[in-house]
Amino acid sequence: MADDDIERAGSGEAVAVLLRELESIRADIVAETLHAQHRIAEVQPHYQASARNLLHYLALRRRDLRPLQQRLATLGLSSLGRAEAHVLATVDAVLSLLRRLMHSAEPVPESDHYIEFSAGSRILDEHADQLLGPRPNGRNVRIMVTMPSTAADDAELVHQLLEQGMGCIRINCAYDDTATWSRIIDNLRRAEKALGRTCKVAMDLAGPKLRTGPVEPGPQVLRIRPERDVLGRVVAPARLWIAANVDARKAPADADACVDVPEKWLAGLHKDDHVTLTDARGARRFLIVAEVTDMGCWLESDKTVYIVPETILRHRRKGHKGKAKTARVGALPSTEQVIRLRDGDVLMLTRELIPGRPASVDSMGQCSVPARIGCTLPAVFDDVRAGETIWFDDGKIGGIIEKVEKDAMVVRIKCARPGGEKLRADKGINLPDSELKLAALTSKDIDDLPFIAEHADIVELSFANRASDVEELQNHLAKLGDRQPAIVLKIETRRGFENLPDMLLTAMHSSSCGVMIARGDLAVETGFERLAEIQEEILWISEASHVPVIWATQVLESLAKEGRPSRAEITDAAMSDRAECVMLNKGPHIVAALRTLDDILKRMQAHQAKKQAMLRDLALAHRQQSA
């Protein structure tokens, strides 16, 4: 701003008030680092300026700056909305202009730890290069891809992903084993050599994931039904594959069901013969023999049929009279049983992994015994209290803990779709209100760390909740030798979000670190309506720390899994370019998803970079002060 422009911009008491206010803010910022010199001294030397800037930012955000921003904007000055990467430089630049407006010759106090405007972005870029590798040509944001188990034996898939611009693979250690992980990494190394490219390896610790236990199997029953159009007309018959020893002779094509029958009876079937039966509902049905092969036969029906073990099949050759030949259906696989829960229902969550079961009802239709299901981590029973909330299956079912008993907690369902929601085995459990004292690393995680330390560039700490969790991982890695992978904090709980600044200062003890916004569990923990706000705060805090961010969970998920994205997913992918890396999850159409994301990110970087924010006070900043 030229001197004559400054002269016209404003003067007097209003500017003096602004000057005093900003000087007070600067004093608080500087004092913050003086009180935390020991924390700054503990981090790696190349992180010390970043740690100091993080503390500056937290001090800045303990105030509601919106009125100040508006008054600064009125004078044509910076509104502080892009201060994250260089807090003190931004404040000092505005102070200097305000003093010129006041015709003050007093200089802004010098600082020995000044991060200039260009330096903040440069430091973040350097840290991102170190953690995630260099940026690909034409795109500022890297792409991480979660590897499916099949990548161990599908070298072509890994090659295609790397060729399309994948910069980092993610191996989820909750699945498979070291042999499978080794083959995936070997396929990556071969692809790197063939394409002349490099790719980071990230390995995700399974962590103490809370899940529902098993559910009692349902009845042995098969239902086959034809495909109908909107008018109810059959457009494709139901297809049943029958064979002797059906387990060893899987259907050669898609079948609605497979049934085991005696080999001698099977040998008497011919094309166009009829097979009749009385199904599990007492309905008379007939099926036509559509095809006979050496392995078995295809039967077709234009009506829905329910088949159970010991169902009698009757066969008579077409055009022949006489007694029909019969056969009994053999054993069938049990159906998956689900527990249907409605608003107001009671669910008993048990310490023991006793197979769960739906509620029992009496002759009047009233619940006589509530539904029950086990919990994979019974230690949480010691930490939960009545009145706290609980969520199941990524937030599809919610409830309140009414009572904690010795062997179970009584949950009253408060959130389920009209008509009820189905709860199955192995579904996630979230306890956002509870102060859980679960160990940061499970025994499985500790067993996996030697392989990770030897082969991975990055270890992702699942369910990172507190600084001591980070310290525990660092201590285990230190015992495994000099090769230290970078640490990424997965923020997927309310507690992890609230303790993020403290965890970042601890993670800076390592040579490289990052943050992953694990938006699936985080949305359940904090409330879906708050997710957008919370991911913004994580982006701000991470940028102030010059720590790269990985934007994760459900990015272009419909495209990866089903081959077609939703409009909302395209918008979400476009917003993700504000992170340093975006993660795609596995799916049959993952190569197409990667190609689409690559195109979106290249287009969006011409339109936006980290966007300007309005600076109300952050609760997160106050928490760090109290800590």
**Whether residues 310 and 257 fall in one domain:** yes
- CA angle centred on 89, ends 5 and 120, rounded to 5°: 125
**Whether residues 375 and 421 fall in one domain:** yes
Q: What pLDDT was estimated at residue 626?
A: 56
| Cβ-proximal residues to 319 (8 Å cutoff; 6+ apart), any chain | none
Residue environment code for 461-472, b if the CB has 16+ CB neighbours within 10 A, otherwise e = bbbbbbbebbeb
Which of 369, 399, 430 is a domain's end point? 430
**In the structure encoding, which two tokens stand for residue 14, read together?**
């209003």
Q: What pLDDT was estimated at residue 105?
A: 67
> Is 136 inside any structural domain?
no
Q: What pLDDT was estimated at residue 126?
A: 96
**Whether residues 299 and 352 fall in one domain:** no
Q: CATH number for the domain including 244?
A: 2.40.33
Q: How many other C-beta atoms can be found within 10 angstroms of the C-beta atom of residue 140? A: 15
**Whether residues 396 and 346 fall in one domain:** yes
**Whether residues 345 and 321 fall in one domain:** no
**Whether residues 292 and 387 fall in one domain:** no
Amino acid at 229: D
Per DSSP, the three-state class of 460 is: strand
**Whether residues 269 and 354 fall in one domain:** no
Q: What is the bridge-based pairing of β-strands 234-236 and 227-228?
A: antiparallel
**In the structure encoding, which two tokens stand for residue 154, read together?**
């599908």
Which of 430, 455, 470 is a domain's end point? 430
Per DSSP, the three-state class of 310 is: coil
> Is 400 inside any structural domain?
yes
Q: List the one residue out of 569, 581, 494, 580 whose CA is nearest residue 531.
A: 494
Residue showing tokens 């009572």: 403
Averaged pLDDT in 10-residue chunks for the chain of 627 residues: 45 84 93 91 96 96 92 86 92 90 72 77 96 91 97 97 97 96 98 97 95 93 93 93 77 88 91 93 94 92 95 83 85 90 96 93 83 95 96 95 95 94 95 91 96 98 96 96 95 95 98 96 92 94 97 94 92 92 96 95 78 65 68
- Count CA atoms closer than 13 A to 211's CA, side-chain side: 12
> Is 49 inside any structural domain?
yes
Q: pLDDT tens, 330-372?
A: 888 888 899 999 999 999 999 999 999 999 988 777 888 999 9
Residue numbers of the domain that contains 411: 339-430
> Is 57 inside any structural domain?
yes
**Whether residues 253 and 273 fall in one domain:** yes
Q: CATH number for the domain including 403?
A: 2.40.33.10
Domains contained in the chain, number: 3
**Whether residues 117 and 7 fall in one domain:** yes
Q: What pLDDT was estimated at residue 615?
A: 63
Q: What pLDDT was estimated at residue 3?
A: 46
Interhelix angle 467-478/443-455, nearest 10 degrees: 60
> Is 597 inside any structural domain?
no
Q: pLDDT tens, 156-203?
A: 999 999 999 999 999 999 999 999 999 999 999 999 999 999 999 999
Amino acid at 459: V
**Whether residues 316 and 367 fall in one domain:** no
**Whether residues 305 and 375 fall in one domain:** no
> Is 92 inside any structural domain?
yes
**Whether residues 344 and 324 fall in one domain:** no
Which of 280, 300, 328 is a domain's end point? 328
> Is 40 inside any structural domain?
yes
Q: What pLDDT was estimated at residue 439?
A: 87
Q: Compute the distance between CA of residue 446 and CA of residue 473 in angstroms, rounded to an integer.
A: 9
> Is 360 inside any structural domain?
yes
Q: Compute the distance between CA of residue 463 and CA of residue 522 in angstroms, rounded to an integer.
A: 10
